[in-house]
Amino acid sequence: MGAAVTRWQILSKDPEASTSFYATVFGWTIHSDNPLGYRELRSNAKGGIDGGVWPCPPEGRPMVQLFIEAPDIEVTIRAATRLGARVIISPQLLPQGERMAVLTDPEGIPFGLVQSARA
């Protein structure tokens, strides 16, 4: 079975304005009650996946980024880099126990990997 896209993220130069825009246009709810103050957007739609808005670094460009499930993040990173991907954020432990990394594909398009918290 293939790996699922588990969430999306908008990198924005003005996260407050972007969050407000998408929440207003699409009726999404905003939740920021988490350890990182992440602006989570929930669609509350059947079958939809939630995402959020994060500040874009000054040198970066605004974009939408997908986060893909990785049962073993290290194995997935090795497979991706053998095929030309590049790691731009090494695996990190998030406050709720997940591990996350960000890579670029061979064309330079960034994508995230998420490994669920281990029980």
Label the pairing between strands 5-12 and 51-55: parallel
- Other CB atoms within a 10 A radius of the CB of residue 86 amount to 13
Residue 92 belongs to domain with CATH number:
3.10.180.10
Domains of the chain: total: 2
Instruction: Give the structural domain span for 111.
Output: 70-119
Q: Which of the listed residues 60, 82, 99 is the one where a domain comes to its end?
A: 60
pTM of structure? 0.80
Same domain, 12 and 46: yes
Same domain, 74 and 55: no
pLDDT digits (tens, 9 = 90+) for 43-59: 888 888 999 999 998 89
pLDDT digits (tens, 9 = 90+) for 98-116: 999 999 999 999 999 999 9
Same domain, 81 and 108: yes
Q: Is residue 113 part of a domain?
A: yes
